[in-house]
Chain A
Amino acid sequence: MITNPNAYDLIVAILNAIGVYNIILGFFQEQGMEYLLRIVIVLVEIAVVLVFVLLTVMFLSWFERKMFAVVQSRYGPMVTGPRGLFQPIADGIKLLGKEDIIPATADRWIFTIAPYIVFVSVLLVYIPLPFGESLILSDLRVGLLYIIAISAITPISILLAGWASNNKYSLMGAIRAVAQDISYTIPLAITAIAVVVFVGSLSTVDIVNAQQGYWFWIIPKWFIFLQPLGFILLLIACIAEMGRIPFDFQESEQELVAGFFTEYSGMKFAMFFLAEYAHMFAVSGIIVTIFLGGWTGPAIPIIPIQITSLIYFMIKTYAVIFFACWLRDTVPRVRIDQLLHLGWKIMIPLALLNLLVAAFVVTAGVI
């Protein structure tokens, strides 16, 4: 079995390059605790990803507000930091200082734990997400399946949050969120399978590697050009998965006040907030990985490929996020039954058709 290099190997390689790896390894071997070194390195990786997620969430919330403001002929946050860049920090401090209210009739235990389940389940998606060449926490051989499976935890925790709040709006928001997530996970999975049929592997790194190279020296070998229908389906399903306008039924502010987190305040609300933006980035990363060639791009001499690939990945991901925000600024929300209608009666048949065509093409050996 060939495993693709991951971040652990990268850290070891860097330590080797500066010549300290053997010294550290020797130190740990003397103590007879070689496994401790592995644990320390993994902990470092986790810390890096956590910091990255927090910074991304901060930047994204600023970016979205700013973009929203520009579309609406406003300035947006301007006071804290240059062009209001530190506004998310101010928001975070404010949320930390808020009273942490638990309604008297709420189910205290579930109410408290639900936001953390949401956040952790979103963080887990980052494990098989390839940020760049060998910049991946762990290249699971079932990466794509893992992502879809982990995403299915989120609706459960949202249902928990909505149920435990003991509020009618929360409950309705939670039910809507679950209905939406279930009906959009299916087309998402089917369109992803259509790509897997081409690649022959569920590993996210393999999917990216399969998209390297060019047709006719110009068109990159991204799956978007092979399956444009699949890309559109995945994009719609992913926007629904993110829970953003036009599909933001979990919140649907004008109908259900704030949906499933109506009763939440303070740090628990911040957890939902973090989870929402972290999820947005992760889902955009998945779209990029599956259809937009992941971290592939023209290599630049001198600069190591790890850095250039990370930059390419970021550019593509932010392009997807930009599109999602742009769409949010433009369109109204669809109705919940229209959404389910779209999901079950239009997207799933189209996704199956897409899969059928892909399977036919691969079996016939056209590509």
Chain B
Amino acid sequence: MIGIIKGLIVTMKHILQIGNRKTVTVQYPYERMKVAPRFRGRHAVDEDACIGCGICETNCPNSTIQIVKYGTRWFPEFNLGMCLFCGLCVDACPMNALKMTGEYELADYSRESLIYGPERILFKKEVSK
């Protein structure tokens, strides 16, 4: 009986929110938690730095990356349906052109739409003068 009463007191403390026992969850679609700067989400490729060498392609454990022609140059294309988000491509990039953004809401309706071509992942780094 004493043990149960002790437990009841603990839960009552939570009901009354005594002593740092506040609600911790967030109302997800309306408010989001901040992701860490190192968060490994969707990839982004620096348009100016990428040389299309394909080192990311060889380093990818799951054949996620393919080098495709985009305009006049070659860029990686990511099939995020297969991606492990391990970050080995980022580690391997010799030009430091790849990075992973904090974007994590990647669910989609078809497999095809999970293939992120250069048109969706390229970004231009702002050059400080």
Interface residues of A, Cβ cutoff 8 Å to B? 67, 70-75, 78, 326-327, 329-331
Contacts and interface: CB of A to CB of B under 8 A. Distances in A.
Contact of A330 (B11, B21, B24): B11
A71 B14 contact: yes
A70 B8 contact: no
B4 interface: yes
B81 to A, nearest CB: 30
Contact of B12 (A72, A73, A78, A326): A326
Nearest to B22: A73
B8 A326 contact: yes
B27 interface: yes
B7 interface: yes
B23 A71 contact: no
B92 to A, nearest CB: 41
A142 B8 CA distance: 37
A71 B25 contact: no
B29 to A, nearest CB: 9
Contact of A70 (B4, B10, B15): B15
Interface residues of B, number: 14
A331 B7 contact: yes
In this complex, the member of B8, B11, B12, B23 whose beta carbon has the largest number of chain A beta carbons within 10 angstroms is B11
B23 A331 contact: no
**What are the nearest 7 A-B pairs in CB distance?**
A330-B7, A330-B11, A74-B25, A73-B24, A71-B11, A71-B14, A329-B11
A74 B17 CA distance: 11
Nearest to B24: A73
A74 B24 CA distance: 6
Contacts of B11: 71, 326, 329-330
Contacts of B12: 326
Contacts of A327: 8
Contacts of B10: 330
A330 B8 contact: yes
Given A73-B21, A74-B25, A327-B8, 9 more contacts: A70-B15, A71-B11, A73-B23, A73-B25, A74-B23, A74-B24, A326-B12, A330-B8, A331-B4
A54 B21 CA distance: 34
A67 B23 contact: no
25 contacts: A67-B15, A70-B15, A70-B23, A71-B14, A71-B15, A72-B14, A73-B21, A73-B22, A73-B23, A74-B23, A74-B24, A75-B23, A75-B25, A75-B27, A78-B27, A326-B8, A326-B11, A326-B12, A329-B11, A330-B4, A330-B8, A330-B10, A330-B11, A331-B4, A331-B7
Contacts of B8: 326-327, 330
Contacts of B21: 73
A67 B25 CA distance: 15
Interface string B14-36: 11000001111101000000000
Nearest to B25: A74
Contacts of A72: 14
A327 B1 CA distance: 12
